[in-house]
A and B are shown apart, each in its own frame.
Chain A
């Protein structure tokens, strides 16, 4: 995948992710509605491909305004990833030379790798993650499980211990997937399934859409560095 295609694909996926997020805000309070209606319109322009550099910049400004009304992110990591992608897209559009453009977009790929690796690292150094207790706590009393019936999973310590180690190993080993395009594609499919299960179990639907938005950057990055 060349840089131009990867950037365009990122814009389209981000447009869809932002449309999904924006529609969710249209039924609530008027101050939110105005901002998210503007975001919805800009996201549609981004999907169609009209003046994508300007549209990305305006979406970034709108992102700042949204941060301001909520005094921080509305949906934690999903909003941070949204802003990171927007920033990298804006920088890629502003870049004076192809090399700078590659650096801006490569930064997104690097952060995507770190998003998995650091998540794995903070878990593996925590004994409660290594013995499965942390995941038991997530199901037993955290605010995330979408239904009471899911809380019963906290009574399956063996299952949760193996799930903990699957998550830790996958996240820690993710950078090794860059060795070949085949291993990367397999890792990205696994990662998408991981986000999908988080969306099902914990209602984190926005994480799924915005993380897969960053995947074209890493596919391009892998071919740029290793091919």
Chain B
């Protein structure tokens, strides 16, 4: 059964649809919040990996060969779209896990010590309605714990 499911993933490669940018769908932003307890009510949401103000031509050229962070961010966009799309519960759980894993990894790399004991993320979808851009919270994840070893 698992083998069949894996081979099924190959079908879109054998007969691809190639409908790139057919329409511009609502676009996800991932925001996270550091929490001092699992049930903290006041939450301060911060954008995960905000894009830089400016990327130079040299940097763009470098990114032709070395672009892991951006490609990972694009994967997280796919995960966000899977969560709110008509995905199976298994796929939603996997996507949520992937986003949590990568946010945690970033936070642990960025901070030498963390005071927060938990964190969670939410998905905000941006879309245009008429001439206005509107934002809508479409998903709030479960909370994830930092172990004591991770925090130190």
Contact surface of A with B, Cβ cutoff 8 Å: 20, 23-25, 27-29, 64, 67-68, 70-77, 79-84, 87, 111, 114-115, 118-119, 122-123, 126, 128, 134, 137-138, 140-143, 145-149, 196, 199-200, 203-206, 208
Contact = CB atoms under 8 A, between A and B. Distances in A.
A164 B24 CA distance: 13
A111 to B, nearest CB: 7
Among A71, A75, A142, residue most surrounded by chain B Cβ atoms (within 10 Å): A71
A42 to B, nearest CB: 18
Contacts of B53: 147-149
Contacts, number: 147
B51 A145 contact: yes
Contacts of A67: 6, 9-10
B51 A146 contact: yes
Contacts of A140: 128, 133
A216 to B, nearest CB: 19
10 contacts: A64-B7, A67-B6, A70-B75, A76-B74, A134-B23, A141-B126, A143-B74, A146-B55, A205-B65, A205-B71
A147 B90 CA distance: 33
Interface of B: 6-7, 9-10, 12-14, 16-24, 27-29, 51-55, 57, 60, 63-68, 70-75, 77-78, 82, 90-91, 94-95, 98, 101, 105, 126-128, 133
A149 B24 CA distance: 20
Tell me whether chain A's interface is mostly helix, strand or loop, or mixed: helix
Given A134-B23, A148-B53, A72 B9 contact: yes
Given A114-B18, A143-B73, A200-B60, 4 more contacts: A72-B9, A83-B13, A118-B19, A199-B60
A147 B51 contact: yes
Contacts of B27: 141-143
A25 B64 contact: no
Contacts of A206: 67, 71
The 9 closest A-B pairs by CB, nearest first: A83-B13, A24-B68, A137-B24, A203-B70, A118-B18, A122-B22, A147-B55, A67-B9, A200-B60
Given A24-B67, A147-B55, A74 B22 contact: no
A203 B65 CA distance: 11
B13 A80 contact: yes
A75 B13 contact: no
A208 B64 contact: yes
A195 to B, nearest CB: 10
Contacts of B126: 141
B21 A134 contact: yes
